[in-house]
Every structure is written in C-alpha cells, then in structure tokens.
Amino acid sequence: MSALEGDDYLQERYGNSQRGKRRWLIPAILLLVVGGGWLFWSANHYSRPEIRTDLISFSVANPKSVSLRYFISVRTATRSHQCILIASDYQANTVGQITDTIPAGAHNYTRSVVIPTRTPAVSATIEHCL
C-alpha cells in the first residue's frame, strides 16, 4: 500500500483525485465536432474549385506567335468564362497576352489558342480564369 492511497489531499495534489477525471471530455467532444465539421467543409470546398485549368502544351510556331493548348473544367456551365493567356520571353517578360472567352454550355473544354507576340517568345502560360 502506497502513501497516496489513504490520503485524499495527496491524491488531489498529485493528480490522482476522482473529482474532475472526466472534466476534459465535454470540451474534447465539442472540439471534435466543430473541428471535424470545419475540416470536412474545407476539404470538400477547396478540393473542388469553381474553375480548374491544366496547361497541356505550347509551341513557338514562329517569332510572332505562340500556340497554346489547355484544358478547362468549370462547375457552373450556365455562364461564360474568360481566361487570360500570356506568352513570355527568355527573361520572363510578357511579350503577348490574349483573353480567351469560353462559351457557356459544357463543363469541360480543351482549347487551342494562338497568342500573337511582339518579340520572340519561349513560353506560354495561363495567368488566370474568371
């Protein structure tokens, strides 16, 4: 028999009291419900963006244009969307820009666009889509 077993003061002092053993349970359950709900919502919301784009390929056909092929997937197919496409030179300066309008109707599109440039370009990218 240890010295702590018979003395209530020592048991409470060293954390062995029977009072308050389950005091953490209600806050833990509330934190689990609120935190779990937020985690589920954020994972569901941010894993399915409104507009998703993927650059498939680009090629420099001649010094005055760049051909760009990309895929766009939209959740709201009832309205049109616009994508800004940019061509860059070897110093990452923008040498060409075009706004591509995607018509309403379907959820998935594969688009091929030619971007006119003022000087020779070495790459092309999708700036953003609205």
pLDDT digits over 76-87, tens only?
Answer: 889 999 999 999
Structure token digits, residue 54 = 């993927």
Positions of the chain with pLDDT under 70? 1-6, 17-21
Read off φ and ψ for residue 46, nearest 5 degrees: -85, -10
**pTM, 2 dp:** 0.68
Backbone conformation region of residue 39, classed left if phi is above 0, alpha if psi is from -120 to 50, else beta: alpha
